[in-house]
Amino acid sequence: MNRLLLIAYPKAHRDRYGDELLGCLAEAHPGRAWPPPRETAALLRGALRAHARAASKDTARPWWLDGIHLAALVLAALALVPYLQDVWDWALRVDPGNDAIAFHAHGWFSWAQGPGTITRMLPYGLLPLVALVALLRGKLWIALPASAAMVWASATFGSSTFFGDEGMVGLGYYGLGTPIPASDLMLPVTLLFACGVLAATRPNRLRRRSYGWLVPVALALTVVGGLRIGPHDQWSQFAQLICEVGALAAAWYATASTGDYRWAIPVAAFALVRAHAVLTATVPMNFQYVREGAFVLALVAAFPLLVVVARDRRRSAQL
C-alpha cells in the first residue's frame, strides 16, 4: 500500500527517490502496509511540494500561461460539479424520475418528452466535461468551442430548448452561492476568455496532463450518480466546500514553497466567480450572523494574499 502514496509524486521524483522512500517506510514501520496518519499527511505535503517545484522549474512555458491554463481547468471543473448526476443519468440511460436535478425528465433518455416538460437534445453538463478533458490534454480546438457553447447556453437560458428546462432547486447550504447553475453567465464568460487567451498564445506550448487526472472526475461521477446525490444536497455541498477550501490551501502551500505567482491566477478566477455568485444570489446566505460582504472580502483577499506570500518567499530566497 505504501506504493500508492508514491503515485502522488511526479514521475521523475518517483524514479529517483521511490526505492529510497519505500525503504525508509519499511524500516520505520515494519509490518505495516500503511504509514501512520501524521506521516501520511507529511508524505502528501511532500508530493504537493514536489509537483509545485517541478512546475516552477519548467521553462517550456511562461508562468502566467500555465496559471491561465490552471484557471481554465478550475472553472471547467466548477461548472461541471452541479451536473454530475445529470451526466451520469444521461450516459447510462438512467431514468432520474423524481430525482431529476437539471431537467424534469421522464423515461430512459434525458431528452425524452414527459408530463410538464419540454424536449432537450443534450445535458448541459456535457459541455464543461468536454472542456475539462480537452484542457487537461491541451486541446484548445475542442475546449474553445465547448466554452463558447456554454456561454450561448447561459445567454439563451429559458428561451432555448436545446438543453431543455434546467429546473435546479435547493439552497446553497454554506452560503457561497452554490451550486452555480448554467444561468450564471459569469463563469462561462470567464472560461471562454481564458480559453481565448490560451488559443492566442501558441496552444502547442500548453502542458498536457495525464489521463490519470480524470480518475477523480470518474470517481465523483460514480459516487454522485450512484448514490443519487444532487447539487442541492447538504452533504454534496459540504464535500464541495471541503474540496474548495483544500484547493485554496494547496495553492497557498505551493506558492509559499516556491515563490511562484502562477497559482494566484486560478485563485483570482475562482474568487471572481464565487464573489459574483454570492452578490447575485437570489436567496440570502443562511449563515447566522454572517453577511455576504464578509465572504466577498475573504474571497477577494485570497488573491493579494498569495501575491504577498510569493513576494516574501522570493525575498527570503535571495537572502
- The verdict on 216 and 285 lying in the same domain is yes
Last residue of a domain, one of 42, 57, 72: 57
Same domain, 66 and 51: no
More confident site: 92 or 164: 92
Please enumerate in sequence order all residues whose Cβ is within 8 A of that of 286, keeping only pairs 6 or more positions apart, or say none: 171, 172, 173, 175
Query: At a CB cut-off of 8 Å and minimum separation 6, what does 31 contact?
Result: none
Same domain, 314 and 178: yes
Residue 130 pLDDT level (bands cut at 50, 70, 90): very high
- What would the pLDDT profile of 174-224 be if each residue is shown by its tens digit? 444 467 877 788 999 999 999 999 999 877 778 888 888 888 889 988 888
Q: Same domain for 39 and 150? A: no
| Domain of residue 48, residue span | 1-57
Residues 151 and 47 grouped into a single domain: no
Mean pLDDT across the chain: 77
- Global pTM reads 0.83
**Helix, strand, or coil (residue 261):** coil
Whether residues 9 and 153 share a domain: the answer is no
Are 204 and 306 members of one domain? yes
132 and 244 housed in the same domain = yes
82 and 187 in a single domain? The answer is yes
Question: CA geometry: angle at 122 spanning 118 and 128, to 5°?
Answer: 130
Give the residue from 57, 84, 99 where a domain finishes: 57
Q: How many domains does the chain have?
A: 2
Q: Which residues contact 147 (CB under 8 A, 6 or more apart)?
A: 76, 127, 131, 188, 191, 192, 195
Through-space distance between the first and last CA atoms of the chain, rounded to whole angstroms: 41
pLDDT recorded at residue 166: 46
Residue ending a domain, choose from 12, 36, 57: 57
Residues 195 and 221 in one domain: yes
| Pairwise CA distance, residues 195 & 73, whole Å | 10
Q: Are residues 158 and 183 in the same domain?
A: yes
How confident is the model over 127-149, as a mean pLDDT? 94
